[in-house]
Chain A
Amino acid sequence: MKQLLSGNEAMALGAYHAGIVVATAYPGTPSTEILENLARRDGIYVEWSTNEKVALEVAMGAAYGGVRALASMKHVGLNVAADPFFAASTTGIIGGLVVISCDDPGEHSSQGEQDNRHLAKFAKVPMLEPTNSQEAYDLMDWVFKISEEFDTPVLLRATTRISHCKTVVDVSRERKADLKQPAFIRSPSKYVMVPSNARPRRNVMEDRIVKLRSYVESFPMNEMILGDRKLGIVSSGVAYQHAREVFKNASFLKLVTTYPIPVNLVRRFAKEVERVIVIEELDPYLEEALHQLGIPATGKDFIPIIGELTPEIVEQGAVKAGLLPAPKLAHKSAASAPQLPARRPQLCAGCPHVGTEYVLRQLCFQNPSSPGPIKKGEVIVTSDIGCYTLGVYPPLSALDTCACMGASIGQAIGLQKAGVPNKVVAVLGDSTFMHSGITGLVDAVYNQGNITVIILDNGTTAMTGHQGHPGTGISAKGAKATAVKLEKLVEGLGVKNVNVVNAFDLKAIESTIKRCLETEGPSVIISRGPCPLNAKVTGKPFKVDADQCTSCYTCLDVGCPAISLSDDKAVIDAGVCLGTACGVCAQVCPQEAISEIKK
């Protein structure tokens, strides 16, 4: 049956049909929908794990127990999970273990760009890459077979334009009926990696790669398409599709097994064509592999190493390299793109993060929009990854850092310990705190970090589309679960100064932050308010009294999408405003011109 599926939907369906029993993930764009789709299926255990490291360890445990298991994550998630990823490669697995890494070239929704193909080679783990949803679906069957046959985790690597692109899939299979029964086979020499056991495993790993090298030579989804022999293009992933689009007549070698690569097949292809080029997104990973084989391939001298490829970027590169004639300009009169105001993502109307970030800007920054040496009395605000990171943009402009999950707390400790004379506040969300803020806070307690940690607790993982986390009490399948109480957790870690404030009460937030900044030792403020998109919050909308409004624009500093100007006076869009459920703008208006619409 033909279905139009995104790569993520196809991988989820393929994994389900391959008979997976356990699936784990921490949400992260562009990987989130894989687990979301699996959560709708019966007969599988599915969890949102605390973070990617835990996700992979749970999947590893399941595979040790003899069943097929899957852990999916975004590219930077595999950094977090690198430790168990390498460890699983060392021990091998029994049940079949697949890790899906969804890379985000061009950083559509990420803090950094990285090419995770290197991690496969680095960890000596076989890697396969689909070029469309059909292959994503089909490959799920293969990757588990490879995992079990070679006793190894397998990395399935996708990118944004594979994960989030819908293509036609012929769904040809059904869920495997003959699933293996879970059972653990005791084998300390395989599973207990003391040095004396780990050393022999190194030999096993190297032998495995040698066997895989020969296996991939006949892997049916690697494909040689011989057209015009003047130019041969080696490619993989979505870059292959762009290349097919741009080079209508060339010869192609599509590689699906990208670690190890089928060396003999590549050599054969190189002999069939006069010139070999490589078209690949991000690093010259395949190109360098070809160079090692002595094949004088080119690629990165005309295809960018940075960012996402598009058909026109590939075409421009090809023209630059003299491989294609310059295309006729579609539009002569308008060579340059129109200069128009940008539309950035923003925090929503009624967002519980806004109040705290507004107060932080007032308290911590003298002139929020001017970078440079920080002045005496100003406060450094280290931050983290989530919706609240949007508070870096004007008008809030309330953040100083954002690096990686959980880093805000460690950075705050470091700035303080370095002797920077300013106070430091770390800001992170509830999901991020669970993910990797806890260990940072333990460090602050142990090492007496003189910092204030603000946990913006909106009760969900909002940025990726409202997934559960340990604090929410809701499982990946939507069932009731045990909620880890933030304040109890923080107290249990040894923090003495723990405060809970209403995220919409600006005065309380301000006085609590001020008090915490004055006290010695680590302090925690939990600023609590529900994400309005998740909790379906309703409130009676507010209005601006035009006679009282003096056009001071203070309310615009909140950055609420419900507030705009009309005839230079503030106006509130009642269809968007959450009014009584929020009330931040009414608290900042010096004229008290904002109030509930009374009917």
Chain B
Amino acid sequence: MKDVNVLMVGVGGQGVILASDAMSEIGMNSGYDVKKTDSLGMAQRGGSVVSHVRWGKQVFSPMVKRGEADFLVGFEQLETARWAPYLKPGGVAIVADVVVIPLSIIGTKTPYPGWKEIEGILKQYTEQIYLIPAPRIAQEVGNPRAINMVIVGFLSAFLELKSEAWTENIRRRLPPKFLESSLKAFSRGVEEARAMRLAKGVEK
């Protein structure tokens, strides 16, 4: 089993912690040593959130080293760019097509960087960049809040573990009301990943 270092980043309230909790537990149940840590400061008040998730044979530090993340999973575009230096060369950047404009720049001359600029920043670190239409997919499955499940599904397609390991864990975490749509969001994420990787010619 290969070691996996993941940084999940976003804004308070997007479900980053739920996603990284699920990923961590799935790793443990699959036989990995796992450590995960969140920097969330006062994130419930709309600040940046970053979760470090590490799977390995024996994990010491809970924190992913800069330049060593296999995956940078961004729930929001600007936050993904902010954490880009954590990607290892050739690591995978997964970016949800979500923009949350920081209050501090509304009505000021500082613009929110457009996707081209964000992509440009990410390209300094990797060529493997996937911008996924997670909000659209979540809308389509009838649960606009399931963006995080689309993202987790997308990420799962890159990892060795079977889909069931993920869905089983998600089942235990979500209230029945949102379960079906969330699982649908997850599998749409998996499909999206396969389709995009095929298109890029990286799918086996």
Contacts and interface: CB of A to CB of B under 8 A. Distances in A.
A564 B47 contact: no
A465 B103 CA distance: 22
A499 interface: no
B43 interface: yes
Given A312-B65, A331-B67, A166 B36 contact: yes
A334 B125 contact: yes
B117 to A, nearest CB: 9
A556 interface: yes
A585 B161 CA distance: 50
A556 B35 contact: no
Contacts of A463: 42
Contact of B82 (A333, A338, A387): A338
Interface residues of B, number: 52
Given A165-B35, A242-B61, A346 B46 contact: yes
Contacts of A390: 42, 45
Given A334-B85, A338-B84, A315 B65 contact: yes
B124 A334 contact: yes
Contacts of B191: none
A340 interface: yes
Interface string B101-113: 1111111001011
B82 A564 contact: no
Interface string B38-52: 111111111110000
Contacts of A347: 45
A463 to B, nearest CB: 7
B88 interface: yes
Given A165-B36, A331-B124, A2 B28 contact: yes
A345 B42 contact: yes
Given A165-B36, A165-B37, A334-B125, A340 B42 contact: no
Given A343-B11, A390-B45, A245 B61 contact: yes
Contacts of A348: 45-46
Interface residues of A, number: 51
B65 A167 contact: no
A337 interface: yes
B85 A241 contact: no
A167 B45 contact: no
Contacts of A387: 45
A565 B45 contact: no
B81 to A, nearest CB: 6
Contact of B33 (A168, A330, A561): A168
Given A4-B24, A390-B45, A343 B65 contact: no
Contact of B62 (A165, A312, A563): A165
Contacts of B179: none
A465 B35 CA distance: 24
A341 B124 contact: no
B62 A4 contact: no
Interface in A207-243: 238, 241-242
Interface string B12-42: 1000000001001100100001111111111
Given A168-B34, A245-B61, A334-B124, A346 B103 contact: yes
Contacts of B88: 330
A341 B102 contact: yes
A342 interface: yes
5 A-B pairs with least C-beta separation: A330-B67, A345-B42, A345-B45, A334-B124, A345-B47
Given A312-B66, A344-B47, A345-B43, 10 more contacts: A165-B35, A168-B28, A238-B62, A330-B68, A330-B88, A345-B45, A346-B45, A390-B45, A393-B104, A565-B107
